[in-house]
Amino acid sequence: MINKKNKKGISLMVLMITIAVMTMLLTTATVAGVKSMERTKKMKFASELAFIKESVNSYMTNNNNEYPVNNTIVLDISKVSAGSIDQFNGESISNNKVNLYEIDLNLLGKIDTVYGKKNGGNDDIFAISKDTKKIYYIRGVKVSSVTYYTLNDELKNIINFTSSEDSLIKDGIKFEESIKDWTNQKVASKIKVPSSYTNVVVTVKQTGYPNVILTGTLEENYNIYNAKSLDTDIVGNYSVSVQYKKGTTDTYEQIFEVKNYDGTKPSITFETPFVVKKMEDKQTNEIYSYINIVSSSDDKSGVKVIKYENVKLDASQKNTYFKTSGIIAQNNVLKIQEGSDYISVYIEDNAGNFEIYEFDL
């Protein structure tokens, strides 16, 4: 016989377990959804702060470092929470008050913002500190338990913010290079054009070798264009032309250049015929043999170092040995160790190109 009482007990237990699992899944989904919404909110706010910051920098560049501001603001930070107060680090604070300057968005041109429009109060504005150059949103944006007023490290990391110190800005258009120093690697670049600009035409210009990839994407407040030389391109340097309109009439153009690529090896000129000479060291009265370098040259980045060694390198050493070893040449003189019958001479330019010369003595 079937125990009906036991059957009901099992059904009730299954129901309770099912409800518990569903509750747990619903709670997890809710928490994940809330976190996603919070991150999106922070990302949008951070993007707008970064956009305002770069627009201010551009205005100052084009107006002899004049700030795009009007009113002075005395901000009382006495009620700022402990979790947010560190955003004001570096400011001159007196009696819990900070002196700031209201940013006049009209001076920044045609820009569309979510914040800073004075909707619902006079604290709905952006302001700048002349002490730290930080941009603040006076009302603040509260996300969970933290209120964000400025572009702190957390917000910068969320949007992978690159400050204007690491990029070139012309009329609000931001130009970033993947490599800023001299290099023998192909340099990729990113051109960020404010989305408020119209009739944008981006063109890569390159003499003789127009082998540059140009792609476009859209990010918050900017249209993004990416350029990069192809591996088959032997030139490596190029310029990017950006034509655009900010209103309905005039067309503007900005030119950005990648000019830090050097793919040519440096060179050394030795005496002809190749002669080993002898010289007396007047400090030690030592007679030593030497080779004289007539000249060294590099077409772009310049010579970084000349080294030498009285050894013959095997094939596996040629690309690595002189990176960490070798005798640095002084005054274009290569001293030869007594009894040596071979010399290897290494020259490297500032882009990392190198050449090795080898001679029997």
Q: CA–CA separation, 156 vs 87, rounded Å?
A: 13
Predicted pLDDT at 234: 63
Predicted pLDDT at 357: 93
- Segments of the chain with pLDDT less than 50: 1-2, 31, 209-211
Predicted pLDDT at 210: 47
Q: CA–CA separation, 266 vs 353, rounded Å?
A: 7
Predicted pLDDT at 17: 73
Predicted pLDDT at 85: 92
Phi (first) and psi of residue 119, to 5 degrees? -80, 115
* Structure-block tokens of residue 357: 């010369």
Predicted pLDDT at 213: 60
Predicted pLDDT at 257: 87
* Mode of pairing for the β-strands spanning 303-309 and 146-150: unpaired
DSSP bridge pairs for 297: 267
Predicted pLDDT at 348: 93
Condensed to tens digits (0 to 9), the pLDDT of residues 289-301 reads 888 889 999 988 8
Predicted pLDDT at 300: 87
Structural domains of the chain, with CATH: 37-159 (no CATH), 164-258 (2.60.40.1230), 267-360 (no CATH)
Q: Are 153 and 134 a contacting pair, CB within 8 Å?
A: no
